[in-house]
Amino acid sequence: MWLYDALASFRNVERHRWLSKRSLLRAEPRLRAEGLLGGARYFDAQCDDARLTLANARDAHRHGALVATYTEARGFDVAAGRIRAVRLADRMTGDEFLVRASVVVNASGPWSDEVRGDGERLLLLTKGAQRRGAADPPRAVPRGHPAVAARWPGDVRASVGDLSYVGTTETPFEGSPETVTATADDVVYLLRSANAVFPDARLQPDDVVATWAGVRPLVRPRNGRSVGAVSREHVVTERPA
């Protein structure tokens, strides 16, 4: 909890607070009391990922980068064991062209293996699905259950309604990252987990107004660990081609 506060440079909405069982049940009366020891309250932040991406692109442009959106890397020109150029395609017109570079950085997240295209699989993709729905819903989930059930802050609630999101799953994912969706099984799993800790919520699939899913590009472990135990650290690999 202190680490969360420290990562926010102690300028978070509020500092974390440990709660006795009694105070926790006062704050969250619908939480299952059986086996409950207490809890902690902490604040997390929300980020508009599309805006963050745009802000990065604009900043790179201001620092002299040539930014090309809707441009796909389709392959590499390799000579004498080194990448000399990247084959790019304009997704709007279909035109292909070559861009020469002395250094090429492949930062395509879950697509990194696909873009490299050498058949080696450095990544283990895991799917994270969340679902949104149900008024007056749970706000906290204890350890051992899928991570979070969070209520939107007041200003967002005013525009989207009194909804919560519940998540997340963590299951291995095969296939191309852009095809990922939350399946009916994911929804049932999340509803069961939420109902286990908030028994009188009795959430049903009909309470769900939206779902979303994404793929985590984890580094494939060598020792056959389960997906939940795989490191979240990043890795930089360098190779001539």
- Please report, as ranges, the residues that interact with ligand FAD according to CB under 6 A: 72-73, 107-111, 115, 128, 168, 214-217
3-6-12 Cα angle (round to 5): 115
**Does residue 126 have a cis bond before it (omega within 30 degrees)?**
no
Q: Report in angstroms how near the CB of residue 151 gets to ligand FAD at its nearest.
A: 17
Nearer to ligand FAD, 107 or 135 (CB): 107
> Are 134 and 164 within 8 A, CB to CB?
yes
For residue 216, the minimal CB distance to ligand FAD (Å) is 5
47 or 135, CB closer to ligand FAD?
Answer: 47
Give 34: exposed, middle or buried? Use CB within 10 Å, 0-12, 13-18, 19+.
exposed
- Answer for the pair 183, 205: CB distance below 8 angstroms, yes or no: no
* In the complex, minimum distance from the CB of residue 67 to ligand FAD, in angstroms, rounded to a whole number: 12
With CB atoms as reference, the residue minimizing the distance to ligand FAD is 109
Tell me which residue has tokens 């790179």. 60
Report the alpha-carbon distance of residue 111 to residue 109 in Å, rounded. Answer: 5
Q: Which is nearer to ligand FAD, 52 or 156 (CB)?
A: 52
CB of 61 to ligand FAD, least distance (A): 16
In this complex, which beta carbon is closest to ligand FAD, that of residue 133 or of residue 214? 214
For ligand FAD, which is the closer residue by CB, 37 or 50?
Answer: 50
Would you call 128 helix, strand, or coil by DSSP? strand
Q: Which is nearer to ligand FAD, 39 or 110 (CB)?
A: 110
Q: Name the E strands within 70-222.
A: 71-79, 82-90, 96-100, 123-133, 148-151, 164-167, 171-172, 208-219
Compute the distance between CA of residue 62 and CA of residue 64 in angstroms, rounded to an integer.
5
CB of 196 to ligand FAD, least distance (A): 21
The minimum distance between CB 108 and ligand FAD, in angstroms, equals 4
Task: Check: CB of residue 25 under 8 Å from CB of residue 42.
Answer: no
Euclidean distance between CA atoms 38 and 24, whole angstroms: 6
